[in-house]
Amino acid sequence: MSTSPATISASGSTTDRVGSLADVHEAAERVLPDLPTDPVMEALDLNVYYGDFHAVHNVNLAFGRNEITALIGPSGCGKSTVLRCLNRMNDLVAGARVEGEVSYHGQNIYARGVDPIAVRTQVGMVFQKPNPFPKSIYDNVAYGPRVTGMKVENMDDLVEEALRGAALWDEVKDKLKQSAYGLSGGQQQRLCIARTIATKPDVILMDEPCSALDPIATSRVEDLMISLREDYTIIVVTHNMQQAARVSDRTAFFTARPDETTGNRTGLLVEYNLTSNIFSNPNDKRTEDYISGRFG
Amino acid sequence: MSTSPATISASGSTTDRVGSLADVHEAAERVLPDLPTDPVMEALDLNVYYGDFHAVHNVNLAFGRNEITALIGPSGCGKSTVLRCLNRMNDLVAGARVEGEVSYHGQNIYARGVDPIAVRTQVGMVFQKPNPFPKSIYDNVAYGPRVTGMKVENMDDLVEEALRGAALWDEVKDKLKQSAYGLSGGQQQRLCIARTIATKPDVILMDEPCSALDPIATSRVEDLMISLREDYTIIVVTHNMQQAARVSDRTAFFTARPDETTGNRTGLLVEYNLTSNIFSNPNDKRTEDYISGRFG
Amino acid sequence: AGGGASGTVAVDGSSTVFPMSNAAYELLSEESPGVQVTVGASGTGGGFEKFCSGETDISDASRPIKDEEAEVCKKNDVEFTELQVATDALTIVAHKDLAVDCLTTDQLIKLWGPNSKVDNWKQLDPSFPDQEIKLFGPGTDSGTYDYLAADVIADESESTRKDYEASEDDNVLVQGVSGTPGGTGYFGYTYFEENADSLKALAIDDGDGCVEPSAETAQAGEYTPLARPLFIYTNNAKYTGNEAVATYTDFYIENLEAIAEAAQYIPLSEDQYAETQSALEGIGS
Amino acid sequence: MSSVAARTARDLTRITTGRSRDRTPGSLIFLGGLWFSLFFGVMVLIVLIVTTAIDGAPRFDGALFTAYDSTLAPERTGFRAGILGSIWLMFTTAVLAVPLGIAAALYLEEFADNGRWYNRFIEVNLQNLAAVPSVVYGLLAVAVMALMGFERKGIVLGGAIALAMLILPVIIITTREAVRAVPTEIRHGSLALGATVLQTTWRQTLPSAVPGIATGTILGLSRAIGEAAPLLLIGLAGAVRFDPAGIFSPVTALPIQIYSMTSQSQEAYQQAASAAIIVLLVMILSLNALAIFIRNKFQRSW
Amino acid sequence: MSDAHTGAGSSLGTGLPGVPPDLSGRSRPGERAIQAVLFTSALVSVAITVGIVVALVRPVVDFFADVPFGDFFALEGDLAVVPLVAATFVVTAIAMLVAVPLGLGAAMYLSEYASPRVRKVLKPTVELLAGVPSVVYGFFALAFVTPTLLQKILNLEVGFTNALAAGLVLGVMIIPTIASLAEDAMAAVPQAMRQGSLAMGANRMQTTLRVVFPAALSGIAAAVVLGLSRAVGETMIVALAAGARKNLSIDPREGMQTMTGFIAQTAGGENPVGSTSYNMLFAVGLLLFVITLIINIISISIVRRFRQVY
Ligand SMILES: Nc1ncnc2c1ncn2[C@@H]1O[C@H](COP(=O)(O)OP(=O)(O)OP(=O)(O)O)[C@@H](O)[C@H]1O
Ligand SMILES: Nc1ncnc2c1ncn2[C@@H]1O[C@H](COP(=O)(O)OP(=O)(O)OP(=O)(O)O)[C@@H](O)[C@H]1O
Ligand SMILES: [Mg+2]
Ligand SMILES: [Mg+2]
Ligand SMILES: O=P([O-])([O-])[O-]
């Protein structure tokens, strides 16, 4: 039951050598400057510690407006840690300590007087495992506007708009009052995205948003990310390099380096570039080893 | 800080197109018949249920003597479940029920009168997370021979032999009495392999043995697997396709199919073939999608 | 008595007598440490039931054994000897601040009678203060209760009213009455004497004017109708068969005056004591 | 959806000015309420200890520990019999309950097949037993002692039977938790090497669970040592003037002595009871501290 | 323990053809025996339950042979149980009024606000409250709460024994039961749920009340119900502080005898085996057992039925 190459090409590469990541990327590529010119967020000399453990070392990164930036790297290299710094979710981790700056529209979100809650209403987040609340679909979406005290003229309209934005409306419009737990995993994840955009954030962080989903749901969410790029700045962590290649404009590759004395592994940024460059022509041997599958 | 292609070639492919899995495989390939001629173990119409949930559907697989067979597929497709059937570790899962046969040297290990403990002394197992016992290194290795009542002339020799077999002897010979918890993750995993071969099994099952390890430890364990192939039959679950390509002789690709009414996802075997064929010329579109990274 | 004696003695029964039996043991334990006594205070009635089933060796009682109880003893082949050990003045106590000093026997019966609905001091006598009455008293298994019900109220139902706070532990009653304005209750004289600074005792007028409870009035027979004898009952077989029981009983009676004094009880008159001594000698012969 | 530019202008004011939304009046009142809830109990405990200690202060003397209960000299009454009795009861209870509890816990956790109705029944039954009032255990112990033909029930054995039944569920439940905390990986590692379930339990699970079991057992015993109700039912006398000497010896216990003394009106007894309460609390708090120490010191975090 | 089960060793030189390994079952008599011992130990818990039922039911049958049902389930009379049940209800209600809000508040603080370090100190401290013997609480109610707190400070007209003091102290005693179990339930709410809420700009209070609390509701309900069953069954506090008078009243300032109070006070030993009053003790004990059993079953089934599958 072999499939002809012609059929495969529908969604990407047409080569008979399966899986060249550079090829995968072509489909999504846009013309962009080498570095983001007007970054929405920037990490400046970011260091993160969990207690005594130095988890992330000196990261400098800029995230461009209306771009999708992918963070990739082997397990434990600090991708999620960096992501969580961007909306101060790390505040919630006991013992976590952040040094350096994260600037959002030029303001350091770690400065004194900044309300992390206000940051989070601007910088939304979608998690690896879909985590809808044990409430109805409607209440899930309305939750954010309600708790942030957003002035909403008509909640029904807002819910509909958010669900449409997350490409979920048609599937759930008849069961808005039912529990969100009745949805499939992929629907739940899109619900979580709808929930996030209902509060009209500026930036959306996503931590491996598809790793718990099946292929069809994955491709739905990927399409959604690309369409959301029009209105939002998206930063996504993924361990699926093909996904990074498919959806992102820029890619940052992290790895972890063991400390010689303690053996603790500290994450660091190896290479940051346009996605097409990372996959077709990486500058660093470690990047190349990783994307060619020699480890990870 | 770019690296020249010449440097990369040291450990594999020399192409400038990064990451063709078929290429990765060349290095490890041997000449083997299309199907194992004298299988040590065979799964025949294997179905596994967890309570009402049909986890694995009708798997037929044969594992050849002194071969490494890789089981690959997306998360939840039942790889671990199938593996655990091969030494009756599923007996320990409450509610798990196995239908069909697993034959070992022609004997159905699920037949009446078969002692699962005897099966497990023949079919050893290495787990995803290194799980040394909270004992000394020596006692970890000696544990199996002791509890199975193996007749051992000289335990010290046996321990040394097993540790040498797991390529760990030189690193631990001076601290055999120290706790196994003092070892690094990779060393712990090799200790678990040493512990398994100390009982002189026939088959070794490995469930993602490297997924908790760093690149260097991973390549050590991979080398070890290839050298163990001389004496043992190895069956390994991995989610790292490159790893399957690097070490295995044959690869079985599983996926999960959602039930139309319940939405439960049942695992099934899609394709089983020589590893070189799976990666260069898969027969099934789903295999191709998976190894080219379109999902998973 | 024999300093080398050893064994265990189980004493239970009247809580009125309890301090005395306990004091007896306490004094004995200095010279015969081998004798181990446990003294319980479950009330006279409860004590007899255990005594007559053979569970205990000695029963304390604040009234004589009833015929029904003696019947049970007989059925279980428990032969016993009654020994009077002291005299008690059943004392009617009240909260310290209560503006009442004396009750007539009739008022007492009106207050505690089985059908009494009296709940204000004023209802007993218009000169009494307008204050709610809170009642405390021993439970129905107690000899003190029986004495008030059967010998003082003497209603045919042989009971008192029921809507009072009941406790076998007279000390609970002391605290209840002293802690509750308008409270009143009744129990053995000793308990009153021990707590004379937190309670007041009401004098009783049995027709001859108000008489205060005291050792003298009780011994002189003036404190009527509330003066009464206290007893211990000894199991004859245990007395002869168990060295410890004999040692304890002998010591008890021999030192009765000292014990009564130590425990602040009203000692027996000489005649009464002689009677008790001869009863003791009669055991086993 | 509003334009990005418009949003930006708003952002700049939004994230810095104003107080944090964790600091709104409503949030602060709520937090204050939570603080109050948390410290109310602790406050009560402090008041309890302080007032009792003040009441008992005149009686912190040697006689408190060495003298027996006294009617003749209330100001020198002591708790020797109760303290020794409680210790005897505690050890006898431990001997009865601990091996039984550990064995039952190991069966339920390591051997029982939860698909079987009788194992599920044992499970539910155990949850119920844990919440049976302690007086009911007293009633049961009375019946058990009568069944065993004891005329006198207020002896060490009688009290210990009541207490052992009372803390058995506690020991079983905490032992199961300790056993469950040993990672399945260790168990599977052992079983995959061909060890039997029993070997795995004896050589891997049990040694790793010892600190947890010890903690649970100590907590169970500290509960037993403070219990009065079941002992009252089994008929422990308040006034005992000799040391317990064996499991058939009549006995009293510290809480029983306290109980019989709290209801005595004389000042001297009140003081003695207060002092004895402090002694009892010290015993119980030390046991608790020991349990916490063992938990923190020896419990492996996997 | 013996390891000597028959040789499962390897004779099979790594896959020698033609020598099929022996997989047949071994008999392990030692293991069997030990398993039987362990199973028997587990059965002891069942034996205890059966024992409770038998020990309670037999005297109760005798009791009802002498006493008509009507006399027992009567509002007043020597053998009436209704006043005892009513008093139990009053005292328990007061205790729950104290323990539910405070217990849940403490649980929310521990689970949602306290850092792990703080929790590690505070949780055992709160649990210490449950370790204080009830006779000590009873003494405290009698020696401090009634005379000092209620009579002096609050100037209430309460008796020496009263339901209020007993209920308040009982409430304090069950705070840790409720706090600890409710905290477990809230801690079991996945972190992801909290993060989801916080990531949307909710503050902690909103997250606690709108997400964590509802998600943990079944566990919290079970905690409250278990606290209820503790309160109903607690003995020494009420025996000392609630009073010894059968009193069909709902005025908490009055003294009243609860079911457990009756058992403890009547059990002082004055009731020899077989007498009606002795058997009444068991009748009340059985009623108490049945009531707490029903409450427990409710608690267990709440947890079963509504266990969240997050
Ligand atoms: N809450 C925490 N406390 C202590 N250490 C932590 C914590 N969270 C993460 N770490 C450690 O920090 C390092 C980086 O973790 P992080 O989760 O950021 O990695 P990651 O790149 O996202 O990995 P993955 O791909 O597995 O999600 C790891 O070593 C991890 O063990
Ligand atoms: N003990 C269990 N009880 C119930 N269901 C289980 C159990 N173990 C596994 N499953 C289910 O069976 C299916 C197959 O699981 P399995 O662990 O075999 O998958 P897998 O292919 O090994 O996945 P992964 O790559 O994530 O390890 C999954 O849907 C899983 O949820
Ligand atoms: Mg991560
Ligand atoms: Mg798996
Ligand atoms: O305890 P009594 O003396 O009243 O029987």
Q: Considering CB atoms only, which of B40, B117, B151 is closest to E9? A: B151
A252 forms beta bridges with A71, A272
Q: Which of E39, E66, E93 is the last residue of a domain?
A: E66
Q: Is A87 on the interface with E (CB under 8 A)?
A: yes
Position D114 scores a pLDDT of 75
Do E48 and D165 touch, CB atoms closer than 8 A? yes
pLDDT at C181: 85
How high is the ipTM of this complex? Answer: 0.80
Domain shared by E123 and E196, yes or no: yes
Question: pLDDT digit string (tens) for B249-281?
Answer: 999 999 888 776 666 778 899 999 999 888 888
3-state DSSP assignment of residue D128:
helix
E156 shares a domain with E50: no
The residues facing B102 across adjacent strands are B43
Distance C173 CA to ligand 5 centre (A): 12
Closest CA to A19 of B17, B198, D186, E106: B17
Sequence letter at residue D148: M
- Amino acid at position A207, single letter: D
How far is CA A262 from its chain centroid? 31
Q: Has residue E14 been placed in a domain?
A: no
Q: Element (H or E) spanning D200, and its range?
A: helix D197-200
Please state the φ and ψ torsions of residue D64, each to the nearest 5 degrees: -55, -35
User: C85 vs B9, which has greater pLDDT?
Assistant: C85
Scanning chain E, the segments in alpha helix (DSSP H) are 29-66, 69-72, 82-108, 116-131, 134-140, 163-187, 191-199, 204-206, 213-215, 217-233, 236-241, 259-266, 276-306
Strands (E), chain A: 39-50, 53-64, 68-72, 96-104, 107-108, 123-126, 203-207, 233-237, 250-258, 265-274
Q: Which run of H or E residues covers position D185?
A: helix D184-192
Q: How far is CA E15 from CA A190, B42, B64, B251, C88, in A?
A: 52, 15, 11, 21, 99
Pair D113, D220 in one domain: yes
Better-predicted residue by pLDDT, B195 or E274: B195
Residues of chain D under the 50 pLDDT cut = 1-13
Phi, psi of B12, rounded to the nearest 5 degrees: 160, -125
Token pair in block for residue A170: 């048609």
pLDDT of residue A7: 32
Confidence grade of residue E273 (pLDDT, cut at 50, 70, 90): low
Is 50 exceeded by the pLDDT of residue B167?
yes
Strand order in the sheet with C102-104: C102-104, C203-205, C210-211
Residue C155 corresponds to which amino acid? D
D21 and D158 share one domain = no
Residue A46 to residue A38: CA distance in whole angstroms: 20
Tell if the CB–CB gap between A116 and D7 is shorter than 8 Å: no
Number of other residues whose CB lies within 10 A of the CB of residue C64: 17
Residue of E nearest to D218 (CA): E131
Q: Do E201 and A127 touch (CB under 8 A)?
A: no
What was the pLDDT predicted at A23?
56
**What CATH number does the domain located at B21-131+200-291 have?**
3.40.50.300
Question: Other C-beta atoms within 10 Å of E225: how many?
Answer: 22
Cα-atom radius of gyration of chain D, to the nearest Å?
Answer: 26
Predicted local distance difference test score (pLDDT) of residue B6: 34
Please tell me the distance from the alpha carbon of residue E232 to that of residue E95, in angstroms, as a whole number: 10
Residue in C62, C171, C231 to alter for ligand 5 test, most ligand atoms within 8 A of Cβ: C62
Give the residue on C whose Cα is nearest the Cα of D250. C38
Pick from D74, D50, D111, B264: nearest CA to C23? D74
The pTM score is 0.83
Residues 6+ apart with CB under 8 A from A167: A190, A220, A223, A224, A227
Q: Does residue E6 lie within any of the structural domains?
A: no
How many residues belong to chain D? 302
**Residue D90, SS3 per DSSP:** helix
Instruction: Answer whether E32 touches B (CB < 8 Å).
Output: no
CB contact under 8 A, D194 and B92: no
User: Is position E266 within any domain?
Assistant: yes
Residues (pLDDT < 70) of chain C are 1-3, 168, 171, 284-285
Q: Residue E230 maps to which CATH number?
A: 1.10.3720.10
The answer to whether residue E165 sits within a structural domain is yes
Domain boundary among E42, E66, E90: E66
**CB distance D115–B95 less than 8 Å?**
yes
D206-226 vs D80-106: helix axis angle to the nearest 10? 140
Regarding whether D41 and D16 lie in a shared domain, the answer is yes
pLDDT in tens, B127-151: 988 899 999 999 999 999 999 888 8
Whether the per-residue pLDDT at B4 is higher than 70: the answer is: no
- For the cut 80, the answer to whether the pLDDT of residue B95 exceeds it is yes
E56 lies in some domain: yes
Domain span at residue E274 reads: 69-306
| Chains adjacent to D (≥3 CB pairs closer than 8 angstroms) | A, B, C, E
The residue whose C-alpha atom lies closest to atom 26 belonging to ligand 1 is: A75
Q: Give tens-digit pLDDT for E64-86.
A: 988 888 888 888 777 889 999 99
Q: CA B120, B123, B124, B127 torsion: positive or negative?
A: negative
Task: State the first-to-last Cα distance of chain E, in angstroms, to the nearest integer.
Answer: 43
| Closest Cα to atom 22 of ligand 1 | A80
pLDDT at residue B284 is higher than 70? yes
Is the model's pLDDT at B2 over the cut of 70? no
Chain E CB contacts of C141 under 8 Å are: 270-271, 277
- Tokens representing B175 are 């601290």
Please give the pLDDT value at position C186: 93
The verdict on E116 and E50 lying in the same domain is no
Q: Residue A167 pLDDT more than 50? A: yes
Query: What residues flank ion ligand 3 with Cβ within 5 A?
Result: A 80
B47, containing H or E segment: strand B39-50
Q: Taking the CB of residue A118, how many other CB atoms lie within 10 A of it?
A: 22
- Closest atom of ligand 5 to C141 CA is 5
Which atom number of ligand 2 is nearest to the Cα of residue B267?
Answer: 14
CA within 13 Å, CB half, E134: 31
Kindly give the pairing relationship between strand A53-64 and strand A265-274.
Answer: parallel
Closest CA to D68 of C29, E136, C260, C190: C29
Angle value at C-alpha B205, between B201 and B210, nearest 5 degrees = 125
Give burial (CB, 10 Å; 0-12/13-18/19+) of C237. middle
* D2 occurs within a structural domain: no
Q: Is residue D47 part of a domain?
A: yes
Residue B11 or residue E120, greater confidence: E120
Task: Give the number of domains in chain D.
Answer: 2
**Rounded Cα distance, B116 and B91, in Å:** 8
Q: Name every chain A residue with its beta carbon within 8 A of the beta carbon of E310.
A: 134
Bridge-based pairing of strands A250-258 and A53-64 is unpaired
Shared domain check, E195 and E103: yes
Which listed ligand is nearest to C45 at the C-alpha?
Answer: 5
- B12 and chain A in contact, CB less than 8 A: yes
Q: Alpha-carbon distance C206 to C209, whole Å?
A: 7
Same domain flag for D44 and D127: no
Question: Residue B56 Cα, ligand 2 centroid: separation in angstroms?
Answer: 9
Indicate the pLDDT class of residue B294, thresholds 50, 70 and 90.
low
Token pair for A251: 């890619």
Q: Is residue D155 part of a domain?
A: yes
What are the tens digits of pLDDT across the range A4-25?
Answer: 333 333 333 333 333 455 555 5
Residue of A nearest to B184 (CA): A263
Q: Are residues E102 and E233 in the same domain?
A: yes
Q: Is residue D32 part of a domain?
A: yes
Q: Is the domain of E237 the same as that of E204? A: yes
Which structural domain, as residue segments, surrounds residue D53? 9-59
Output phi, psi for A73, to 5 deg. 150, 165
Q: Does residue D126 sit in the same domain as residue D172?
A: yes
User: pLDDT higher for B23 or B31?
Assistant: B31
Same domain? For E54 and E172 the reply is no
Given a contact as 3+ CB pairs under 8 Å, which chains touch E?
Answer: A, B, C, D
Q: How many CB atoms lie within 10 A of CB B4?
A: 8
* Single-letter code of the amino acid located at B189: Q
Q: What is the mean pLDDT of residues A219-239?
A: 90
Q: Is A74 in the pocket of ligand 1 (CB under 6 A)?
A: no
Residues E60 and E109 occupy one common structural domain: no
From CA B169, how far away is CA B190, in angstroms rounded?
Answer: 10
Encoded tokens for E53: 């039922």
How far is E135 from D226, CA to CA, in rounded Å? Answer: 8
Q: What residue segments make up the domains of chain A, in order of their start?
A: 21-131+200-291
- Side chain identity at residue A246, one-letter code: R
Greatest pairwise CA separation for chain E in angstroms? 95
- E118 with E226, same domain? yes
Q: Which helix (H) or strand (E) holds C8?
A: strand C7-13
Question: What are the structure tokens assigned to A188, written together?
Answer: 């739940």
Residues 6+ apart with CB under 8 A from E47: none
Q: DSSP class of residue B114?
A: B
For residue E215, what are the CA distances in angstroms to A141, B26, D22, E118, E185?
A: 17, 53, 21, 24, 9
Q: Is E42 within a domain?
A: yes
